[in-house]
Amino acid sequence: MQVIRAVGREAAAKKYDLLSAMMAHGLAGDKHRQRLVLRLMALITTRYNWQRDELTIGQREIARLWCVDERTVKREMAKLRALGWIEIKQQGARGRVSVLGLNLDRILLDTKAEWPNIGPDFVERVGGKRAEPTSNVVPLHRPEPMPAEGLWAEARTRLAEEDPALFDAWFAGLIEAERDETCLTLFAPSRFHAAYVQTHLLERLRIAVQRCDGRVGKVRLIGP
């Protein structure tokens, strides 16, 4: 999967690819998902700075753009943060609005199932080899998949469906060590394995877990 970065000669095409993926995903969903995606697309096309990855707009402005009240804005933006589609880069303070960023890789990952609806040319163009750190580093000893139950078993299934190769390399060997109401602790087969997942893949891991149980918003990695 290509990484969308709006720079260089193909910047415009990459923007359209992302918006097309979001459009197809929204149209394939129910009315609530359609509306949420449309609202985010409105923010992207009117206020998003592609080069700096910054979305700076107040709730009052968003409410006016979406033709809703500010309470609806808070609720919808919370849904987008929970999906991992938007992230807070700088918290607003002293009358200044928060600076938000888009997790473009997460958006592409979540819309991948609907790419064929656009066409095989789109799938071939956008679905190329993913240029991310995990493509260059592999575990010295690939662990066998470990049995799991409950929340971690459900999260593992999600991760395996999203990217089987990445799952086999880094997630399959993780074991649930401890869980409380808000945090899931996972045990890795080595300190290197734990450190790598913590550094490069923790956000993907956290989102998968949170989507299985919204109360668990933190994931911690430990090693031998």
Q: Where are the domains of the chain?
A: 11-126, 136-222
Question: CATH topology of 11-126 equal to that of 136-222?
Answer: no
- 135 or 117: which leads in pLDDT: 117
Cα dist. 187→155, 178, 191, 200, 208 in Å?
15, 9, 9, 16, 17
The CATH fold assigned to 136-222 is GMP Synthetase; Chain A, domain 3 (3.30.300)
Type of residue numbered 30: D
pLDDT at 132: 44
Q: Is the pLDDT of residue 138 over 60?
A: no
Q: What is this structure's pTM?
A: 0.71
- 146 or 108: which leads in pLDDT: 108
| pLDDT tens by residue, 148-203 | 668 899 999 999 988 888 899 999 999 999 988 899 999 999 999 999 999 999 98
CATH of 11-126, one of 1.10.10.10, 3.30.450.40, 3.40.640.10, 1.10.1580.10: 1.10.10.10
